[in-house]
């Protein structure tokens, strides 16, 4: 890194560093650096503590090391701005300050020959840095470069929560899944995956009417999301199933005539609407085994619609798809 006009350098820390203040300059009467804010994001370190405070800690999150000295005027300009920006980053990075007069070994080993110098450590090694009292806007850009843009951590947390909720839903813990999907929607009200997941939970819990109301209340751009559209198709299937008749009467009719495929198709749709996916698939697979020509291979087409609504990871999808393949390629 060279020059105060280069805020980031190229990640080379062993070479010559030039800047606005040189080591060993005239000692000016100056107090120690600004007091360290509370919260554990900012601290002073020493040669003995450097490994724990910087190397080890950087394996958990990025750490900025501020090399400074009491006599350094530009350090006094940079430090309060740096501390404020790190504090506002809310834990995306930590700041560790090293007084080079009291602890010259580390800056000597790193080839630091000009201060103020700030070096970013990630995964136990220096990855980037800058020198001089750079503007606040460049400090923010530097933190974004090292730690990722603001909001990246929340986005990762949301994705993790969505994955966990999906797993709970597939495993049958619908209430817990609904709580997680709801929590994501509180943090991100326009998250289509969370909205779709919550509506799926409502359907599983027998409250299709509430799911339908939620679907109708969604903004057009969110309603167009594929996950929301899949729920819309599921609700449509549910509504159609309500019009197909009494399932007990259909079961009785099938007991008298097992090859009445139209009745069996109706019962499959009803069982799917009831959440009895294995039963729904079994009825359609039975039609496929007996008569692929019925309704122009309608049982297979209906089963594919079920797969799309259930999702590729649903146990019923996996089992029925395997059995369908054995019928198709027998």
Question: Active-site positions?
Answer: 72, 75
DSSP letter string, 139-181: HHHHHHHHH-STTHHHHHHHHHHHHHHHHHHHHT-HHHHHHHH
Tokens found for residue 277:
């996916």
Q: What is the C-alpha separation between 146 and 118, in angstroms, rounded?
A: 12
Q: What is the C-alpha separation between 212 and 236, in angstroms, rounded?
A: 9
For residue 131, the cross-strand partners are: 117
If we measure between CA atoms, which residue out of 80, 81, 65 comes closest to residue 115? 65
Angle at CA of residue 205, ends 305 and 313, nearest 5°: 40
Sign of CA dihedral 152, 157, 163, 169: negative
CA atoms within 13 A on the CB side of 144: 9
Cβ proximity of 41 and 133 under 8 Å: no
Sign of CA dihedral 99, 102, 103, 105: positive
Q: Give the rounded distance of the alpha carbon of 197 from its chain centre.
A: 15
């Amino acid at each position: 890194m060279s020059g105060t006009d280069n805020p980031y350098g190229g990640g080379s820390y062993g070479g010559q560093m030039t800047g606005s203040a040189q080591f060993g300059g005239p000692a000016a009467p100056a107090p120690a650096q600004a007091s360290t804010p509370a919260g554990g994001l900012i601290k002073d370190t020493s040669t003995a503590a450097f490994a724990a405070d910087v190397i080890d800690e950087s394996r958990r999150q990025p750490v900025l090391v501020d090399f400074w000295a009491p006599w350094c005027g530009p350090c006094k300009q940079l430090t309060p701005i740096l501390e404020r920006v790190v504090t506002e980053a809310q834990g995306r990075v930590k700041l560790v300050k090293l007084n080079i007069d009291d602890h010259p070994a580390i800056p000597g080993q790193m080839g630091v020959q000009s201060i103020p110098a700030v070096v970013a450590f990630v995964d136990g090694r220096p990855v980037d840095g800058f020198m001089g009292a750079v503007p606040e806007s460049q400090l923010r850009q530097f933190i974004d470069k090292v730690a990722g843009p603001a909001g990246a951590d929340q986005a990762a947390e949301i994705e993790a929560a969505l994955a966990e909720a999906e797993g709970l839903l597939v495993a049958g813990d619908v209430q817990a899944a609904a709580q997680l999907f709801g929590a994501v929607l509180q943090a991100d009200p326009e998250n289509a995956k969370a909205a779709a997941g919550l509506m799926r939970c409502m359907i599983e819990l027998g409250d299709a009417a509430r799911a339908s109301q939620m679907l109708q209340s969604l903004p057009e751009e969110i309603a167009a999301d594929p996950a929301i559209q899949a729920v819309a198709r599921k609700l449509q299937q549910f509504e159609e199933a309500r019009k197909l008749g009494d399932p007990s009467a259909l079961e009785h009719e099938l007991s008298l005539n097992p090859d009445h495929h139209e009745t069996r198709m109706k019962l499959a749709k009803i069982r799917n609407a009831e959440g009895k996916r294995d039963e729904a698939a079994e009825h359609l697979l039975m039609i496929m085994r007996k008569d692929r020509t019925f309704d122009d291979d309608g049982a297979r087409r209906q089963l594919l619609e079920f797969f799309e609504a259930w999702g590729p990871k649903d146990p019923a999808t996996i089992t029925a798809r395997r059995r369908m393949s054995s019928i198709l390629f027998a």
